[in-house]
Copies of this chain bind each other. A is one copy, B any other.
Amino acid sequence: MNEHVLLLDAETKAAEQPQDHRDELRLWLRLLTCTTLIEGGVRKRLRERFDVTLPRFDLMAQLDKSPDGLTLSELSRRMMVSNGNLTALVERLVASCHLDRRTAENDRRAQVISLTNLGRAEFRAMAAEHEMWIAEMLGDLSRSEVTELLRLLAKAKASARQAVQGERP
């Protein structure tokens, strides 16, 4: 009986498995292509128009949404990059007077990072153009297609998050 089950499993695998998940794989590759294309376009425009890198723009974008600043840990969680990555990135932006950094009041381990007035002003000028670039790149999608993509990607995001983070401990 055991062999029977195993045999069935093997046959099932042979018959279905190799084809079964091809669409999911295609979906992942297409998602990656879309992201890479848009990211490349944004990166290039940021460099040409503002001489700024994408990671710096992303960092400033997070801080612009949090006027009271964020700790490095919170930043790394929101940007989904490693902790050590931020150390150098923040250092450079502090050196160029775009960011402020201070020790947290109640926790001497933590650093609170925030935008300076200069940083905020420069970011907002960039963000305004950035929004138009994105609108242009996604310009062939109708309003309802955008809405539908938002809905389906929310589901994909939840699915991936559960699979990826559900295994952490």
Query: Within 8 Å of chain B (Cβ to Cβ): is A2?
Result: no
B23/A143 in contact, CB under 8 A:
yes
Interface 0/1 of A40-65, CB less than 8 Å to B: 11001000000000000000000000
List chain A positions with a Cβ less than 8 A from chain B. 20-28, 30-41, 44, 80, 131-132, 134-141, 143, 145-150, 152-164
- Expressed in whole angstroms, the minimum distance between the Cβ of A76 and any Cβ of chain B is 12
Q: Is the CB of A135 within 8 A of B38?
A: no
Query: By the criterion CB–CB under 8 Å, are B37 and A35 in contact?
Result: no
The main secondary structure of chain A at its interface with chain B is helix
Neighbouring B residues of A139 by C-beta, 8 Å? 159, 163
Q: Residue A39 contacts which of B32, B44, B145 (CB distance < 8 angstroms)?
A: B32
Chain B CB count within 10 A is highest, among A34, A39, A80, for A34
Within the assembled complex, what's the spacing in Å between the Cα atoms of A132 and B21? 7
Note all chain B residues with C-beta closer than 8 A to A31.
Answer: 31, 34-35, 38, 153
- Cβ–Cβ contact A160 & B137, under 8 A: yes
Q: How far is the CB of A56 from chain B (nearest CB, A)?
A: 16
Please list 23 pairs of residues, one from A and one from B, whose beta carbons are closer than 8 Å in the complex, sorted by A's number. Answer: A21-B134, A22-B131, A24-B131, A24-B138, A27-B138, A27-B150, A27-B153, A28-B38, A28-B137, A33-B80, A33-B157, A37-B80, A37-B160, A38-B164, A40-B80, A41-B163, A140-B155, A141-B156, A148-B148, A148-B152, A149-B152, A149-B153, A149-B156
Per the bound structure, the CA–CA distance linking A38 and B160 in Å amounts to 6
Minimum CB distance partner of A132 in chain B: B21
Report whether A27 and B162 are in contact in the complex, using a CB–CB cutoff of 8 Å.
Answer: no
